[in-house]
């Protein structure tokens, strides 16, 4: 039993390690097109694969009893889209809107369903083709943001730019969980 | 004995004819003849002395009168000049007019400044509009950038087919970035121009305020100076009026004094008549002491020689009639 258990444990550990390696390989930054944008005065990048379009920041309908990073909803050609405040989501203060403020419309897959949502950024710069050699794996610590948000570190014109892992930043599970916690918190008091 | 003979004898120190000693009558006659010569000479000398002195006095007074007349004329001319459209009040009026001209000129300059200020304000507005235009250019470039990024994303989604379009989108983005850069430059320059123009406008405004203050003060100063000048002029004019009046009065007094000097003629006449009579008396002594008839003749002759009524009155020892109301009697 013990042996079996030990073997099982070992195999579980091996399986985890393998899975981690697979994950590592899968998450190895690959070349592609990236959008650079600004949040809280710093430049970030994201893959354009998930991006549908970018619109100017317009009228926003706030939703009460939501965490700060849920900015509200917008009407995009008749569809109601939730909008995430990226700065607030990353632990900074809510973004101040300006003439350059934009909403990046992204498509997220969750449980084989496609969700669209908006992401508020301070401004968008350009779409870049980044080769693999300009992309470094994320550091284990020391960055300003949660490291599981980071997909890679891109080297753009001599500066390191954080490439955000969008599926983590905008994880439907986490977002909805956070929203629920935030919603529950006032009732608990 | 006639009163004349009596007075003559009294004058001679012979109180009465009766006191004349019969002895040495011829001697006495000679003495009287000699004395009458002395009388005539003394009277002549008196007449001459008086005449000369009074002539001198008359000349001096006539000179004074002429000088007074000249002084009066000058004063009157000056007074005339001060009054009405005369030189001095005219000078004040023209000073006033010229000051007003200067004021008008300053006012004109201020108005020109005002017009300049308006122009500058207009320029400020124009520059502001330019700034807005540059802003809208920047806005368009921003929208174009967004459009190009969206095009790029769309091209990426299209895969291979979208590659050409992706290049176009990138070019559009570059152009948008360029035009954005240009609009930023324009805005910077416009801001600089706006700043300069605003400074000009501010200084023009400050100048306008200073000018208005200056005009107000100048006007007040000019008004004060003119009123002080006018006051002084009034004083001078009234003083000159007074001078004229006093001068006229003095001139009258001098004229009256000159008339009074003519008493010398009357004194001379009286003395001449007395001297002639004394001469006649001395002649009549040639044939000894004159008899009653001769003396009466002398008396009549003297009476007849008078030209002035008061001589006759003096002769007859009558009192002078009161002449205070009659004014001046010349001859």
The domains located in chain B, with CATH, are: 3-81+252-315 (no CATH), 86-242 (1.10.287.950)
What range defines the domain where residue A57 resides?
33-188
pTM value surpassing 0.90: no
The 8 Å CB, 24+ separation contacts for A84-89 are A84/A117, A84/A118, A84/A119, A84/A120, A84/A169, A84/A170, A84/A175, A85/A120, A86/A39, A86/A119, A86/A120, A86/A121, A86/A169, A87/A39, A87/A40, A87/A120, A87/A122, A89/A169, A89/A170
Within a domain: A57: yes
Give tens-digit pLDDT for B111-132.
888 888 888 888 888 888 988 9
User: Is the Cβ of B149 closer than 8 Å to some Cβ of chain A?
Assistant: yes
Query: Out of B139, B142, B149, whose CB is closest to A35?
Result: B149
Burial of A120 (0-12, 13-18, 19+ CB in 10 A): buried
- Contact yes or no for A127 and B152 at CB 8 A: yes
Give tens-digit pLDDT for B243-297.
888 888 888 888 888 888 888 888 888 888 888 888 888 888 887 788 888 888 8
The residue of chain B nearest to residue A48, with distances taken between CA atoms, is B153
Within a domain: A16: no
All residues of chain A having their beta carbon less than 8 Å from the beta carbon of residue B143 are 56
Within a domain: A24: no
Instruction: Return the SS3 of A159.
Output: strand
All residues of chain B having their beta carbon less than 8 Å from the beta carbon of residue A33 are 152, 156
Within a domain: A177: yes
Within a domain: A13: no
Q: How far is A64 from chain B (nearest CA, A)?
A: 31
Give tens-digit pLDDT for B204-215.
888 878 888 888
- Contact yes or no for B173 and A126 at CB 8 A: yes
Give B 224-263 residues with CB within 8 A of chain A. none
- Contact yes or no for A100 and B142 at CB 8 A: yes
User: Is the Cβ of A31 closer than 8 Å to some Cβ of chain B?
Assistant: no
Domains held by chain A: number: 1
CATH of the domain at A135: 2.40.50.180
Within a domain: A82: yes
User: Is the Cβ of B142 closer than 8 Å to some Cβ of chain A?
Assistant: yes
- Contact yes or no for A53 and B150 at CB 8 A: yes
All residues of chain A having their beta carbon less than 8 Å from the beta carbon of residue B146 are 54-56, 102, 124
Confidence of residue A145 (pLDDT cuts 50, 70, 90): low
Question: What ipTM was estimated for this complex?
Answer: 0.74
Within a domain: A142: yes
């Amino acid at each position: 039993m013990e042996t079996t258990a030990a073997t099982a444990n070992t195999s579980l550990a091996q399986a985890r390690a393998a899975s981690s390696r697979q994950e590592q390989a899968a998450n190895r930054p690959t070349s592609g097109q990236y959008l650079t944008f600004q949040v809280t005065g710093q430049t970030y990048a994201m893959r354009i694969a998930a991006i549908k379009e970018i619109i100017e920041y317009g009228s926003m309908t706030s939703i009460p009893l939501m965490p700060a990073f849920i900015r509200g909803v917008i009407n995009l050609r008749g569809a109601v889209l939730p909008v995430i405040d990226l700065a607030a989501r990353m632990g900074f203060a809510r973004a101040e809107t300006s003439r350059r403020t934009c909403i990046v419309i992204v498509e997220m897959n969750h449980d084989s369903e496609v969700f669209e949502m908006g992401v508020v950024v301070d401004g968008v710069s350009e779409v870049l083709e980044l080769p693999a050699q300009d992309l470094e794996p994320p550091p284990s610590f020391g960055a300003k943001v949660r490291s599981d948000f980071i997909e890679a570190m891109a080297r753009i014109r001599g500066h390191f730019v954080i490439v955000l892992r969008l599926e983590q930043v905008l994880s439907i599970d986490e977002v909805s969980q956070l929203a629920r916690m935030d919603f529950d918190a006032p009732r608990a008091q | 004995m006639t009163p004349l003979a009596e007075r003559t004898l009294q004058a001679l120190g012979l109180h009465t004819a009766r006191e004349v000693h019969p002895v040495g009558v011829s001697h006495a006659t000679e003495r009287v003849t000699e004395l009458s010569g002395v009388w005539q000479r003394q009277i002549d000398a008196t007449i001459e002395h008086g005449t000369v002195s009074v002539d001198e006095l008359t000349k001096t007074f006539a000179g004074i009168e002429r000088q007074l007349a000249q002084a009066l004329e000058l004063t009157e001319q000056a007074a005339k000049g001060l009054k009405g459209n005369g030189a001095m009040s005219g000078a004040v009026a023209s000073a006033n007019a010229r000051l007003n001209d200067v004021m008008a000129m300053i006012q004109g300059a201020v108005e020109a400044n005002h017009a300049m200020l308006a122009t500058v304000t207009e320029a400020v507005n124009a520059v502001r509009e330019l700034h807005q235009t540059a802003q809208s250019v920047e806005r368009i470039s921003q929208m174009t950038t967004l459009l190009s990024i969206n095009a790029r994303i769309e091209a990426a989604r299209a895969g291979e087919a979208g590659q050409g379009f992706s290049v176009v989108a990138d070019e559009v983005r570059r152009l948008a970035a360029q035009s954005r850069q240009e609009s930023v430059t324009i805005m910077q320059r416009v801001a600089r121009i706006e700043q300069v123009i605003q400074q000009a406008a501010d200084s023009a405004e400050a100048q306008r305020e200073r000018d208005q203050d200056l005009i107000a003060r100048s006007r007040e100063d000019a008004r004060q100076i003119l009123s002080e000048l006018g006051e002084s002029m009034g004083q001078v004019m009234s003083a000159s009026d007074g001078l004229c009046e006093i001068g006229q009065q003095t001139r009258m007094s001098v004229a009256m004094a000159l008339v009074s000097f003519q008493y010398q003629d009357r004194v001379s006449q009286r003395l001449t008549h007395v001297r002639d009579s004394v001469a006649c008396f001395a002649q009549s002594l040639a044939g000894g002491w004159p008899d009653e008839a001769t003396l009466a003749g002398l008396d009549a002759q003297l009476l007849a020689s008078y030209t002035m009524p008061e001589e006759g009155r003096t002769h007859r020892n009558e009192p002078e009639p009161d002449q205070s109301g009659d004014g001046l009697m010349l001859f």
